[in-house]
Amino acid sequence: MDLQVLRSFQAVAEGLTVTEAAAEARITQPALSRALRRLEEEVGAELLQRVGRVLRPTSAGRVFKEYVDAALDSYDRGRRAVAEVVDPDTGLVSLAFLHTLGTWLVPRLVTGFREDFPRVRFELHQHGEMGLVQHLLDATADLMITSGDPDHPLITWRRLLVEPLWLAVPTGHRLARRGRVRLAEVAGEPFILLKPGYGLRSVTESLCREAGFAPRVAFEGEEVHTLRGLVAAGLGVSLIPSSPDTAATPDFPIRYLEITDVHGARDIGIAWLTGRTLPPASRRFIDHALRATAEAADGHW
């Protein structure tokens, strides 16, 4: 059984036409069609069936694809590991991270790491918390940086830092001239929140409960950038990770206020699959992230 045939089967099962998959494999379309038929003969079942102009996996094909995905992923990771043993200063770090961390933490960590290992490459994925966990479980990322311990039996998590959360209000808000407020002071106001399933949504709801109320939801978004924009438009308030000295701009006329009655913060950590043997570059990145954030906490970043 040829690995390239398995990759072509994988590609067709995921939606490519046989012609497109053949072009990727640099063979002719008839040659790939014959190879796929031989694969079905070896497996002993019809794996693909024509639906209109394209091929779709059969029920047997969907089952077989799960094992093909795992086998190809294992093979690719094995090649990476061997390459890094042969040349330990190279390699690939496959990292998934929260959208909000792409503006400051991830760039800092990647830049510092590449100063020591300039030939290491990065494969980066952005997502919400639920999507990040799936990246690890699907083996499409080796590491993830996210908020809070995912509390998953297959995942190991280590805290990197505690990130402050601030109450974002429009510059014309009744509290905007103050630097510190109690979260309870906005109990009756509309809140701009991320959708359920995002970590920041859970943290916000938990802090509001601690302050004695449930947030009145005015809008549910998928990115913190959207929350900022809607707060700036005067549609509500929001708990947002941001620096307290962030200045209001014409595009984002927002004031960030320190919360005093509850501990407005969230844990940021790095995680990986407990049972997976990580490539050397990924293990080095974990060490670097833990060391760099510890130094930052001591004022050396």
Task: Render pLDDT for 120-168 as a digit per residue (tens, 0 to 9).
Answer: 999 998 877 778 888 888 888 999 999 888 889 999 999 999 999 999 9
What per-residue confidence (pLDDT) applies to 247? 57
Give the model confidence (pLDDT) of 65-117 as tens digits.
Answer: 999 988 888 888 788 778 776 676 778 899 999 887 888 899 999 999 999 99
- Same domain as 261, residue 169: yes
> Which CATH number do you get for residue 26?
1.10.10.10
Q: What is the CA radius of gyration of the chain?
A: 24
The CB density around residue 172, as the number of other CB atoms within 10 Å, is 9
Could you tell me if residue 71 is inside a domain? yes
pTM of the model: 0.68
Residue 195: domain span: 161-266
- Same domain as 287, residue 251: no
Could you tell me if residue 153 is inside a domain? yes
- Same domain as 39, residue 128: no
The CB density around residue 244, as the number of other CB atoms within 10 Å, is 12
DSSP-assigned states of every residue in 112-125? HHHHH-TTEEEEEE
Give the model confidence (pLDDT) of 215-230 as tens digits.
Answer: 999 999 888 888 989 9
Give the model confidence (pLDDT) of 6-53 as tens digits.
Answer: 999 999 999 888 899 899 888 998 999 999 999 999 999 999 998 877
Number of domains in the chain: 3
- Of 48, 83, 118, the residue at which a domain comes to its end is 83
- The H or E element containing residue 272 is strand 265-273
- Classify residue 290 as exposed, middle or buried by CB count within 10 Å of its CB (0-12, 13-18, 19+): middle
- Same domain as 177, residue 261: yes
> Which CATH number do you get for residue 256?
3.40.190.10
What is the dihedral sign for C-alpha 202, 208, 209, 211? Answer: positive
Residue (of 220, 231, 229) closest to 196 by Cα position: 220
- Same domain as 203, residue 184: yes
What is the three-class DSSP state of 261? coil
Q: How far apart are CA 272 and CA 142, in angstroms?
A: 6
- Same domain as 101, residue 65: no
What is the three-class DSSP state of 298? coil
Could you tell me if residue 90 is inside a domain? no
